[in-house]
Chains A and B, each alone.
Chain A
Amino acid sequence: MSNASPNFLTSSIGKKFLMGFTGLFLISFLVVHVCINACIYFNDSGETFNMAAHFMANNIIVRIVEIGLFLGIILHIVQAAILIRQNNSARPEKYAVQNLAVSSKWYSRSMGLLGTLLLMFLIVHLANFWVPTKVAVFKGEEHNTFESLKVVFSSPLILIVYLLGLASLFYHLLHGFQSAFRTFGLTHKKYTPFIKSFGFWYSVIITLVFASMPITLYLGIIK
């Protein structure tokens, strides 16, 4: 048997591998993000939260990791766009009737749509918080991130946008987490049930904790 050597990263499986890898990287980022945010629950007028935010905004290692994070997001999106285009051209003539509801979950088929919604949310989110913090750092000013949280989340419209963004995140994670492991070839009768339930509870907890923040700030529970 001759041995053709296709480029791993440009093969269909390699592309999926990169999707899973960047996806898990972003998933690990969410843990850091949610932990920092949870500092608002000290309910000390944002003292602890601002301290954590200040550390994140000025620490050199965090800055370097941030570049990696943006590269990860871009790679995840570009790879997805390439894959979606290829997948669409794999079926140029669509079915008149297709009943996929019986064989798969809607969110597993809607990762592109959910991802697009997430990207739109991300742009709003960066404009709300990331950009003002960066501007403050460049000007050498102290940015009171906690105060900006309270201002942003006093708007019911923003609250709804965030909750919808988090709903997209929930379903994106629900499929993405366990799907990444399958792409890596990590299945095992003993560990796969654990990975699946871990992915489920990860999606639920991350989403609920994130959602609790704009809600409590909007309702004025956190002052």
Chain B
Amino acid sequence: MSHGNMNLTLKIWRQNSGKEPGQLVTYPVKDISPDMSFLEMFDVLNEQLVSKNENPIVFDHDCREGICGMCSMVINGRAHGPKTGITTCQLHMRSFKDGDTIVVEPWRAQAFPVIKDLTVDRSAFERIQAKGGFVSVNTGTAQDANCLPIPKDDADASFNAAACIGCGACVATCKNASAMLFVAAKVSQFALLPQGRVEATARVKNMVAQMDAEGFGSCTNTGACEVECPKGISLENIARMNREFLVANCKD
């Protein structure tokens, strides 16, 4: 073992399919460099499993640069692990100590059924998006940017909401498995802009209806989602969506 490398005990959720029950399985890993990312440590483990003719652990990952939101893992009871403001791929093994036991579980929610091991089906988010997380515009040449003056504060708040990558850490963290932070971000990014106001009433009503239909829980304002969100989406968005929803229901 080279200097500073670690031996760890991993307890990882293994589940063959959504139809079968799963369990935590213990895997020792040796000689892990502190400079590896958490996912690279999983790659090392999976290569060992394959060489022993065992099934590798299935986990979601894509860009590995913190912007795609695929790497869904609850590590030691926290979405994306012990650090805040990052996804799992940006978590490095230096955040752990030699000899640590690390428990890794999938996002757990009725609306996010396990596909296999740590991979869950997050298409519920896509169905919510399809209900109104867009602006219906005719295609054509983009108009001059200065035709629609937008206050800087609104533009910034909209941009911050649009930073949501739809990873589902909010749902995974929330004690009620509520998707309010996600839906609120998607509603807010348009609610703040004149282009989005045109369809604001229908958008918030449709998206909330779909959110409820998917079986997510409701919001009890614990604020845990905001803390664990890798993109720092603010709770203010939830309040804004509540306001939008109330106004929309008063209108029609």
Using a Cβ cutoff of 8 Å, how many contacts connect chains A and B?
160
- Interface residues of A: mostly helix, strand, loop or mixed? loop
Of the candidates A91, A92, A186, the one having the most CB atoms from chain B within 10 angstroms of its own CB is: A91
- In Å, the complex CA distance between A98 and B77 comes to 4
Is residue A64 contacting chain B, with contact meaning CB distance below 8 A? no
Residue count of chain B within 8 Å CB distance of chain A: 56
Q: In the complex, which residue of chain B has the Cβ closest to the Cβ of A108?
A: B222
Point out the residues of chain B lying under 8 angstroms from A186, CB to CB.
239, 243
Is residue B164 contacting chain A, with contact meaning CB distance below 8 A? no
Task: Contacts A97-B105, A182-B242 given; indicate if A3 touches B202 (C-beta within 8 A).
Answer: yes
Judge whether A1 and B132 touch: CB under 8 Å: yes
Task: Contacts A87-B175, A108-B222 given; indicate if A182 touches B235 (C-beta within 8 A).
Answer: yes
A3-39 to B contact mask, C-beta < 8 Å, 1/0: 1111010011111110000000000000000000000
Is residue A63 contacting chain B, with contact meaning CB distance below 8 A? no
Partner of B208, one of A3, A6, A92: A6
Judge whether A4 and B218 touch: CB under 8 Å: no
Is residue A83 contacting chain B, with contact meaning CB distance below 8 A? yes
Residue count of chain A within 8 Å CB distance of chain B: 45
- In Å, the complex CA distance between A56 and B197 comes to 50
Binding site for A on B (CB under 8 A): 11, 13, 24, 74, 76-78, 103, 105, 108-111, 131-132, 136, 173, 175-178, 199, 201-203, 205-206, 208-209, 211-212, 215-224, 227-228, 235-236, 238-246, 249, 252
Can you list 17 A-B contacts with CB-CB less than 8 angstroms, sorted by A residue number? Answer: A1-B132, A1-B136, A3-B206, A4-B206, A8-B246, A16-B220, A87-B176, A87-B177, A104-B223, A105-B222, A175-B221, A182-B235, A183-B219, A184-B242, A185-B240, A185-B243, A187-B236
